[in-house]
């Protein structure tokens, strides 16, 4: 039986974590003074740094998805590396007790057919994009404190200049058990970490070309999709596809997490966060197609790495949708709002990652959702693209 998600979650200000420098001291002070409410979610990476407003608005507008016409399956030309998702009506979200507030209540949604990448975008694919365009990711750029400070409480001190350098968030497991109230025990702002160097300057992509690209922010994912003539999926499209044709099932493959003792996704086993026993075959990110695909031929929709969606994140979005009856091709809310971090603009991420575990979270389900600061990459966030019919 999975541990109930109603257990106490970390009460720390995730945005301050990314202010770096005096970050850990500030976290302790902020928690003591109760600057932020408790989060009703987990498996979270800390948020985040701000990028320039102008390019952000431009890419956001580019993600508006027009209503698509649902053609018959036989009318669809073959799309290499993509699976045809026929569309239809389904129950989005959940009413299960063992779930989190942002994924409730369940509500009816209808989506038109679309194509979706069979796998998460790999390092090899992202490298081809960078070579063709010269694109520079968010993690490879120097953070701008004037933008970053908009996401943290007024009066937050500026970190030392030597810490405001290109970098990203890296999972750094401790060598011993730690309390789960302080994510700084297993996440670190690491200078020089980016998609080419996922764990920092000393790491590389050797023998990882077929792993999902990580350390990519939302804008980076959007740029790749546009280059490929595709787009990010809406949250509704993503969840419909992740369910693989199953209706109201807890997991993407049915009701049991390990049917007949089989591992169905890359998640965390052992004592979180210090000891992943790798019972599923992996203790970090796994190569794509390491596990059986779902009913639509999609791999790793659950576990491995979280995946960016196009929607803004609002913790109460499902409550609004549930009042409207069946929603057709929902595009998400018009703006972001997370009461736990009201200053941080967030996009939806779905699917959970290799860090999800019943001992800390149960986000390895199609209905699970979280908001991630749009300008933050990390060790466990990637993406895949879709194309309208």
| Domains of the chain: total | 1
Of 77 and 309, the one with more pLDDT: 309
- Mean pLDDT, residues 332-339: 95
Please tell me whether residue 148 adopts helix, strand or coil conformation.
Answer: helix
Provide the percentage of residues in the chain whose pLDDT is more than 90: 72
Taking the C-alpha atoms of residue 171 and residue 355, their distance in angstroms, rounded to an integer, is: 9
| pLDDT above 50: residue 372 | yes
Nearest to 222, CA basis, from 64, 14, 24? 64
Q: In the chain, what percentage of residues exceed pLDDT 70?
A: 80
Give CA 53 to chain center in angstroms.
21
195/208 Cα distance (integer angstroms): 11
Compute the average pLDDT of residues 205-231. 98
pLDDT digits (tens, 9 = 90+) for 171-184: 999 999 999 989 99
- 320: Cβ–Cβ under 8 A, 6 or more apart, which residues? 314, 333
Assess if residue 327 is contained within a domain: yes
> Quick check: is 214 in a domain?
yes
Residue 272, Cα to own-chain centre: how many angstroms? 19
Look at residue 101 and tell me if it is in a domain.
yes
Q: Which residues pair with 306 in a beta bridge?
A: 381
Please give the pLDDT value at position 78. Answer: 79
pLDDT of res. 359: 87
Q: What is the pLDDT of residue 77?
A: 72
Q: Where residue 76 falls among pLDDT bands split at 50, 70, 90?
A: low
Residue 54 CB-density burial (10 A; 0-12 exposed, 13-18 middle, 19+ buried): exposed
Report if residue 4 sits inside a domain: no
Count of C-beta atoms within a 10 Å radius of residue 216: 28
Q: How far apart are CA 7 and CA 361, in angstroms?
A: 9
What is the phi/psi pair of residue 168, to 5°? -160, 180
The whole domain housing 185 covers 14-388
- Residue 46 has a pLDDT of 58
Residue-wise pLDDT for 114-150, tens only, equals 999 999 999 999 999 999 999 999 999 999 999 888 9
From 308, 307, 353, select the one nearest 44 (Cα to Cα). 353
Tens-digit pLDDT profile for residues 30-44: 333 333 333 344 455
- Closest to 299 measured CA to CA, from 244, 222, 229, 378: 244
Instruction: Tell me the pLDDT band of 48, cut-offs 50, 70 and 90.
Output: low
**Spatial CA neighbour of 91 closest among 247, 319, 299:** 247
Average pLDDT value for the chain? 84
Query: Both tokens of residue 81?
Result: 């590396």
pLDDT tier for residue 19 given thresholds of 50, 70 and 90: very low
For residue 13, is pLDDT > 50?
Answer: no
What pLDDT is attached to residue 70? 35
CB 378, CB 337: distance < 8 Å: no
Residue 39 lies in a domain: yes
**Residue, of 233 and 19, whose pLDDT is higher:** 233
Strands (E), 162-204: 167-171, 187-191
Name the DSSP letter for residue 104.
Answer: -
C-alpha dihedral sign at 156, 157, 161, 163: negative
pLDDT > 60? residue 73: no
Q: For the segment 279-328, what is each residue's pLDDT rounded down to a tens digit?
A: 999 999 999 999 999 999 999 999 999 999 999 999 999 998 998 999 99
Q: How confident is the model at residue 98 (pLDDT cuts 50, 70, 90)?
A: confident
* pLDDT for 389: 83
CATH number for the domain spanning 46: value is: 3.90.1580.10
Structure tokens, 267: 């998640």
Give the integer Cα–Cα distance in Å for 23 and 11.
15
Inside any domain, residue 7: no
pLDDT band at 97 (very low <50, low <70, confident <90, very high): confident
Asked if the structure places residue 9 within a domain, the reply is no
C-alpha–C-alpha distance, residues 140 and 124, integer Å: 18
Residue with tokens 């949250």: 235
pLDDT band at 361 (very low <50, low <70, confident <90, very high): confident
How long a stretch of residues is the chain?
A: 389
**Which pLDDT score is estimated for 176?**
96
Which pTM value belongs to this model? 0.83
Q: Of 343, 366, 306, 354, whose CA–CA distance to 50 is shortest?
A: 343
**Mean pLDDT within 319-338:** 94
| Radius of gyration from C-alpha coordinates of the chain | 20
Residues 79, 387: contact at Cβ < 8 Å?
yes
H or E stretch including 312? strand 306-312
Omega prior to 184 cis, within 30 of 0 = no
Asked if residue 385 lies in contact with residue 230, where contact means CB atoms within 8 angstroms, the answer is yes
Q: Quick: pLDDT tens for 239-269.
A: 999 999 999 999 999 999 999 999 999 999 9
Domain membership of residue 8 (yes or no) is no
Q: How far is CA 255 from the centre of its chain?
A: 23
User: Does 236 have pLDDT greater than 60?
Assistant: yes
Dihedral (Cα; 290, 294, 295, 297), 10-degree rounding: -50
Tokens 């990448």 belong to residue: 117
């Amino acid at each position: 039986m999975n541990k109930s998600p109603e257990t106490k979650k970390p009460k720390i200000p995730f945005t301050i974590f990314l202010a770096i420098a005096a970050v850990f001291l500030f976290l302790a002070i902020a928690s003591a003074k109760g600057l932020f409410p408790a989060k009703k979610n987990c498996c979270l990476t800390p948020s985040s740094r701000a990028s320039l407003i102008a390019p952000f608005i431009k890419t956001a507008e580019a993600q508006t998805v027009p209503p698509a016409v649902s053609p018959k399956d036989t009318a669809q030309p073959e799309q290499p590396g993509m699976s045809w998702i026929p569309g239809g009506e389904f129950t989005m979200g959940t009413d299960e007790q063992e779930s989190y507030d942002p994924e409730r209540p369940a509500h009816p949604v209808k989506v038109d057919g679309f194509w979706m990448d069979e796998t998460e975008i790999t390092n090899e694919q992202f490298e081809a994009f960078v070579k063709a365009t010269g694109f520079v990711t968010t993690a490879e750029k120097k953070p701008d404190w004037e933008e970053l400070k908009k996401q943290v409480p007024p009066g937050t001190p500026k970190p030392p200049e030597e810490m405001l350098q290109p970098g990203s968030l890296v999972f750094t497991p401790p060598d011993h058990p730690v309390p789960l109230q302080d994510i700084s025990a297993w996440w670190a702002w690491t200078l020089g970490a980016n998609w080419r160097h996922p764990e920092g300057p000393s790491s590389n992509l050797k023998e990882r070309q077929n792993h999902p690209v990580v350390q990519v922010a939302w804008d980076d994912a959007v740029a790749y999709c546009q280059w490929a003539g595709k787009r990010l999926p809406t949250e509704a499209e993503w969840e419909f596809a992740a369910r693989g044709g199953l209706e109201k099932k807890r997991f993407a493959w049915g009701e049991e997490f390990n049917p007949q003792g089989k591992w169905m996704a890359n998640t965390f086993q052992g004592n979180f966060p210090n000891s992943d026993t790798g019972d599923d075959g992996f203790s970090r990110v796994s190569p794509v197609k390491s596990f059986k695909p779902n009913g639509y031929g999609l791999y790793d929709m659950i576990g491995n790495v979280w995946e960016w969606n196009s929607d803004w994140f609002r913790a109460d979005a499902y409550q609004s949708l549930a009042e409207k009856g069946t929603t057709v091709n929902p595009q998400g809310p018009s703006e972001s709002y997370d009461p736990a971090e009201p200053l941080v603009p967030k996009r939806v991420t779905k699917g959970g990652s290799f860090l999800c575990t019943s001992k800390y979270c149960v986000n390895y389900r199609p209905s699970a959702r979280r908001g991630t600061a749009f300008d933050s990459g990390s060790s466990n966030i990637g993406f895949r693209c879709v194309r309208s019919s």
